[in-house]
Amino acid sequence: AQCGADGVGLYRTEFAYFTDRLPSEEDLLAEYAAVAQRAAPDRVVFRTLDVGADKMLHAQAVLKEPNPALGLRGIRMAQVRPDVLDQQLRALLQVSPLARCRILLPMVTSVSEVEEVLYLLERDWIAVQEEEQVKITKPKIGIMVEVPSVLFQIDEFAELVDFFSVGSNDLTQYLLAVDRNNPHVANVYSHFHPSVLRALQNLVQACHQQQKPISVCGEMAGDPLTAILLMAMGFNTLSMSSSNILRVRKAICHVPMADAKQLLDNVLQMNNPLVIKSWLEHYFKTHGLADMVKSNRLVSA
């Protein structure tokens, strides 16, 4: 709240696992309770463990997967180590009476993955209430939209979850089949790509149709140029690092909705990411927002 945000839109729970030993349920409970209480009365969205690929644990590196970005990462880990997810869910359930928290599942590909987590959550919910002798309201649960398959099954996922959140870094990576951290193909990776923009436009419409809230995380939400497009598309919430909040807030306050919608209309007709970016930059430069353009890198992150 101190930096002008409404709660924590994405709390990455990976950090506790980058040590020599796995954390205990008590460790997790202490960490999550501290985070939730600091953010109170605002909510915190806790993303369950998303290790693998660019966030590789030592134990995973031993697996020597030939293609880790397409391998055992995010929710897929729950197939191999359900106990790890179970422990996180139990800790989060115990935190939920203390402060507002939500659960977000990363790297979801198929409906069955969510069904399995819901089953675990239900079982833990009953068990924790019995053990602690408290009544717990089940936290809202959502999935990240970062694997393109999800884009085509929003209605089916909407029957299972309360909200959606776009992981724009990974969605860009998987839509464009380009490693988000590989400098050799950095010119291919762009969140100004027409397919990324059109996918998001369709996605937000599908979520609204299902009456489910949808937010955007990742670089795209923290880039003023794309933030105003997301606003025009109708995204309810943008989640970004605190260092970007002021810039994005300034852009959103300065660009009238009618202009943002016009810009969106314009760029959705274009087929080249660089032209789209230049078009947006031109608007910013000619509307007193030139400082935001200069601080951007030439190739989007």
Instruction: State which residue, 10 or 260, has the beta carbon closest to Mg ion.
Output: 10
Q: Applying CB under 5 A, which part among 15-23, 38-46, 163-171, 178-186 lies near Mg ion?
A: 163-171
Q: Applying CB under 5 A, which part among 87-95, 159-167, 183-191, 227-235 lies near Mg ion?
A: 159-167
Count of alpha carbons within 13 Å of 42, Cβ hemisphere only?
16
Structure tokens at 118: 């819901």
Q: Which does 217 bind (CB under 5 to 8 A by kind): ligand PEP, Mg ion, none?
A: ligand PEP
CB of residue 171 to ligand PEP, shortest distance in Å: 7
Task: Please report, as ranges, the residues that interact with ligand PEP according to CB under 6 A.
Answer: 10, 12, 50, 146, 167-170, 217-218
Contacts of 149 (CB under 8 A, 6+ apart): 109, 110
Contact 191, 223 (CB under 8 A): yes
Burial 163-190 (b: 16+ CB within 10 A, else e): bbbbbbbbbbbbbbebbbeeeeebeebb
Q: Determine if 170 is a binding residue for Mg ion (CB under 5 A).
A: yes
Instruction: State which residue, 30 or 69, has the beta carbon closest to ligand PEP.
Output: 69
CB of residue 266 to ligand PEP, shortest distance in Å: 25
Rg (CA), the chain: 20
Choosing from 167, 222, 224, 273, the residue that interacts with Mg ion (CB under 5 A) is: 167
C-alpha span between 233 and 247 (Å, rounded) = 19
User: Crossing angle, helix 194-209 and helix 257-267, to 10 degrees?
Assistant: 120
Residue 76 is classified by DSSP as: G
Q: Which does 168 bind (CB under 5 to 8 A by kind): Mg ion, ligand PEP, none?
A: ligand PEP
Q: Which does 52 bind (CB under 5 to 8 A by kind): Mg ion, ligand PEP, none?
A: none
Q: Determine if 219 is a binding residue for Mg ion (CB under 5 A).
A: no
Contact 216, 166 (CB under 8 A): yes
Instruction: State which residue, 96 or 215, has the beta carbon closest to Mg ion.
Output: 215
Residue 52 is classified by DSSP as: B
Contact 161, 143 (CB under 8 A): yes
Contact 29, 91 (CB under 8 A): yes
Instruction: State which residue, 8 or 10, has the beta carbon closest to ligand PEP.
Output: 10
Q: Which does 215 bind (CB under 5 to 8 A by kind): Mg ion, ligand PEP, none?
A: none
Instruction: State which residue, 96 or 173, has the beta carbon closest to Mg ion.
Output: 173
The residues binding Mg ion (CB under 5 A) are: 146, 167, 170
